[in-house]
Structure 1
Amino acid sequence: MEVFPAVDILSGNCVQLVGGDRLTATVYGSPIDNARRWIAEGAANLHVVNLDGAFAASSTNAAMIREVVEMTDVFVQVGGGIRSLEDARGWLNCGVSRIILSTFATQDPAVIRTLSQEFGSERIMAGVDARNGEIAVSGWQELAGDFIGWAEKFEELGAGSLLYTNVDVEGKQAGIDRAPVQKLLDAVSIPVVIAGGVSSSQDVRSLKELGASGCVLGSSLYSGKITLKEALEAAL
């Protein structure tokens, strides 16, 4: 199973939030320094979230993410604020390994097929961020229907993988909720990466046992509750 240390960028800083609330932001220095730290500790993948929004609207973050891509040889997936085909193509054309389409994919699902045909499905990941069993969109402020139904639709449209984030436990460092993860993995056949609540080696082992293709480490990694070495060993 793959492990993805998170590098979430807000106003040029690497941060971690609780439940997506910007008022809870804890700053952890520069994005590139953190990217280099996780790579030095053995990361082969990075999960980068542009919390300030679109490619064109956040040139500072775009430059930072481009620097991460250019100065490392790891797999970099990027999400956050991709609101148009122009945004999506901008990230993919600057060398990002894979993009994550979330709110945009629920507003215009056909973009998944368009981008998968244009760039290859392996570079297109659909975000399934869920609260209370419904997909959460627009910065997790709105609910837009059953998350399983959306996951199945994204697969049908050609998404190469899914990112499932359990908003109910995200950032709380209190462990994963296995039930919705199992429900999702039973419903689709494409790879699924899990985010939200991954706080211990046991969480990582549980996700591997359930059949997840990967997991994202955020707040618990930055706070020291779990080390990257522990997570990588549990994922073997």
Structure 2
Amino acid sequence: MMEVVPSIDISQGKAVKRIKGIKGSGLILGNPTKVAEEIYSLGYNFIHVVDLDAAEGTGNNEDKIKEIVKVGFNKIEVGGGIRSVEKANGLLSLGVTDVVVSSILFTDKVEFDKMSKLFGDRLFFSIDYCGGKTLIRGWKEKAKSVDETLSVIKDYDIKGVIFTYVCNEGTKKGIDDNISIYSVKVNKIKGYAGGISDVKDLLKLKDSKIDFAIVGMAFYSGNLKGVKNV
């Protein structure tokens, strides 16, 4: 069974859903805690939160994350701007269950090494990618190919990998056709985000041995609201 995980992206204290990460695009959903409470009321136990301001280096929304933790979810994973052990530790101390990092593997390997040693069992690595290339620094720079990134990450003792298909993120244009090729190379917990539109996409991800699918635009526009697993 593959779990469906709604996402809450936070910018300037509000829950939003951007298209391909572009500021000002997509939806403004309002109070993140209220959004979280609605998701919880639908019976979801697992959510994915992204602090967009922290990712962009323009601030942080830890006060909002602290409120979301109180809603009652079993699992809350948080990503966005986690570039130090202190930042990760701070989020985990708020009651967040797992943290998600990406760029740090390429920008500060020493710090990433420390994180994986200190709390690898609560650490997910997100491969943010498009066109076969891993993207870093807010998706503005290309790093290694996805295959090269996978070969680097396999040596680390972490909880899992999230494949974030930036090409279609926030568009509902469908998932990456190559996901099964990448997924088979990971023997840890596997998540996927980007372009998910409907149950057919979810079933394809399940067939590709993905453990959980992160939904945003398809959830908030109603396509997948209430679908908890496939």
| Structure-2-length-normalised TM-score | 0.93
2: CA distance, partners of 1:215 / 1:96: 19
SS in 1 for 2:158: coil
SS in 2 for 1:192: strand
Matched residue, 2:217: 219
Matched residue, 2:65: 65
The number of equivalent residue pairs is 228
Matched residue, 1:185: 183
**Counterpart residue type for residue 37 of structure 2:** R
SS in 1 for 2:128: strand
Are the equivalent residues in 2 in contact too, given 1:112–1:157 (CA < 8 A)? Answer: no
Matched residue, 2:79: 79
2:228 is matched with which residue: 213, 227, 232?
Answer: 232
1:149 is displaced (CA, Å) by: 1.5
2: CA distance, partners of 1:63 / 1:57: 15
1: CA distance, partners of 2:109 / 2:98: 17
**Counterpart residue type for residue 185 of structure 2:** A
1:110 is displaced (CA, Å) by: 4.1
Q: Which deviates more from structure 2 when the two are superposed, residues 214-223 or residues 152-161?
A: 152-161
**Counterpart residue type for residue 173 of structure 1:** K
SS in 2 for 1:178: coil
1: CA distance, partners of 2:95 / 2:113: 20
Q: Compute the RMSD of aligned alpha carbons.
A: 1.7
Are the equivalent residues in 2 in contact too, given 1:113–1:159 (CA < 8 A)? Answer: no
Are the equivalent residues in 1 in contact too, given 2:99–2:124 (CA < 8 A)? Answer: yes
The structure that is helix-richer by fraction is: 1
* Residues 1:37 and 2:33 are matched in the alignment: no
After superposition, where does 1:200-215 map in structure 2 within 5 Å?
200-215=198-213
SS in 1 for 2:15: strand
Matched residue, 2:147: 148
SS in 1 for 2:27: strand
Give unmatched runs, 5+ long, in structure 2: none
Q: Which runs of 4+ in 1 moved over 4 A?
A: none
After superposition, where does 1:22-171 map in structure 2 within 5 Å?
22-53=23-54, 58-59=59-60, 61-119=61-119, 121-171=120-170
| Structure-1-length-normalised TM-score | 0.91
* Residues 1:3 and 2:4 are matched in the alignment: yes
Matched residue, 1:174: 173
SS in 1 for 2:197: coil
SS in 1 for 2:17: strand
